[in-house]
Amino acid sequence: MSDNFGIKEALKSLGIKDTNSGTSTGSNWLPNEGEKITSTSPVDGVQIGNVVTTSEKQYDEVVKSASGAFKEWRLMPAPKRGEIVRQIGEELRRQKEPLGKLVSYEMGKSYQEGLGEVQEMIDICDFAVGLSRQLHGLTMHSERPNHRMYEQYHPLGVVGIISAFNFPVAVWAWNTMLAWVCGDVCIWKPSEKTPLCGIACQNIVNVIFKKNNVPEGVSCIINGDYRIGQLLSNDKRIPLVSATGSIRMGKKVGEAIGARLGRALLELGGNNAIIITESSDLNVAITGALFGAVGTCGQRCTSTRRLIIHESKYEEVKNKLVSAYNQLKIGNPLDETNHVGPLIDKDAVKMYNNAIEQIKQQGGKMVLEGGVLTGAGYESGCYVKPVIAEASNDLQIVQDETFAPILYILKYRELEEAIEIQNGVVQGLSSAIMTTNLREAERFLSQAGSDCGIANVNIGTSGAEIGGAFGGEKETGGGRESGSDAWKVYMRRQTNTINYGKDLPLAQGIKFDL
């Protein structure tokens, strides 16, 4: 492993070893019983370390520990739970650089994006601290005399979290920090493609929990492939499972949870589009489209997949995009002079190549050809060229989400047509319009406009702020994480009525002679 970018020091700071137990109930790391997952960096193809998977017996031990911890954790006042989360935010600030480097090296996103992901963790800690004093209900007037009605929220219990490789730490934090201040305990299954990021986060949390005498079981981690995820999905002891990943995966998780009438928070695929109107500021539009399409090598759920361009601007936008793409620097993401890093692994490269073949077979036209990069600096075999293709929205390959830097450009004449194209996919995560026309902007944001969970004006589809609820509609799953009132999904709602009078009036005027 080359240490030109301080990776060895980062791993040491985060407590990462050559072989790591993948199962923990907190500070208690369970003995190695399962198989080994080898984490190999897509940056240089070098093995970073191993994580030992969770056995079914160990999984049961983890759930029992979490269930026991919940009984104690839920009784701690929410502001005190918030204070512990505040300290976690401070520890993340201290470890921001090494954790950002690990995210970049294990996942392949740029170092700037790695640091940005850790900053998202810090931001959600700050949000959760304030939230810990605002878990409010409502008070309602009763129709009965001498009665008071109100509603309150109680913690659910054990929350299962299944996260994806593309945001190996932030999505866990979005769920966990809110769940913790709500009084829940968490069991996290990180992606088997980025397991060391999960171990690092558990180590960071353990430092703070030890200082505050937090009981074992409040923060648990399990590791493995889809089979470990199935244990969470089918476990009646887990009232809520939050799962981030593909639509295919989400349907299976949702089916399993629905069969036991549990709760599912699903954040699934995106097929996000930007509409570029005749009145758009092209400097803004091109910048938003470029970052949205090639950021994280096209491996964000909010990545821009489609550009829907007004016919009067089509050729100009296409030419500007080609010029911008030709200036992209592809290489080691820890080198801040590079714009685009690698795909996560060689399986992703195969999907990328297959998508290019499908574009050609289905009648699309290549504007910028793709290909796998070889030679010095590209030894991992995971570096690819970003692609631009002209296509129509009804092509199956356009309808499908390909987790790679492939951008489809489409032409429209009237705004209604553009919105219809934008909405004409099964996914409904993020969307944007580039316009300086107020009527166009408001039309896009109206009830007859974008059908996505996120709709932006003059910013791209990629990225989100902590303060707003994040999630999408249709086959994106309908879940909401992070800000606004997303905290309510981690709690159960209870309506209370108190009779402080001397009589008990019954419904529908029923009376008993007693």
- Both tokens assigned to 478: 């309908």
For residue 380, give Cα distances in angstroms to 44, 191, 207, 343: 5, 20, 35, 10
**What pLDDT, on a 0 to 100 scale, did the predictor assign at position 496?**
98
Q: Which amino acid is at 12?
A: K
For residue 324, give Cα distances in angstroms to 167, 289, 315, 389, 409: 26, 10, 14, 15, 15
* Mean pLDDT, all residues of the chain: 97
pTM strictly above 0.75: yes
Q: What angle do CA 317, 472, 402 make, to 5 degrees?
A: 55
Per-residue model confidence as pLDDT tens digits over 193-222:
999 999 999 999 999 999 999 999 999 999
Give mean pLDDT, residues 320-339: 97
Give mean pLDDT, residues 402-407: 98
User: Would you please indicate which residues are annotated as catalytic (active-site) residues?
Assistant: 267, 301
Tell me: pLDDT of 4 over 80.
Answer: no
DSSP codes of every residue in 50-105: EEEPPPHHHHHHHHHHHHHHHHHHTTS-HHHHHHHHHHHHHHHHHTHHHHHHHHHH
Determine the 3-state secondary structure of 46 from DSSP.
Answer: coil
Determine the 3-state secondary structure of 387 from DSSP.
Answer: strand
Per-residue model confidence as pLDDT tens digits over 50-99:
999 999 999 999 999 999 999 999 999 999 999 999 999 999 999 999 99
**What pLDDT, on a 0 to 100 scale, did the predictor assign at position 1?**
57
What is d(CA 144, CA 505) in angstroms, rounded to the nearest whole number? 7
Per-residue model confidence as pLDDT tens digits over 6-61:
999 999 999 999 999 999 999 999 999 999 999 999 999 999 999 999 999 999 99
Per-residue model confidence as pLDDT tens digits over 96-111:
999 999 999 999 999 9
Q: Which residue has the tokens 């160990």?
A: 58
What is d(CA 407, CA 341) in angstroms, rounded to the nearest whole number? 17
What is d(CA 272, CA 285) in angstroms, rounded to the nearest whole number? 15
Tell me: pLDDT of 143 over 60.
Answer: yes
**What pLDDT, on a 0 to 100 scale, did the predictor assign at position 213?**
97
Helix (H) or strand (E) holding 391: none
Tell me: pLDDT of 514 over 80.
Answer: no
* Cβ–Cβ < 8 Å for 304, 290: no
What is d(CA 41, CA 11) in angstroms, rounded to the nearest whole number? 13
Give mean pLDDT, residues 137-148: 94
Helix (H) or strand (E) holding 434: strand 430-434
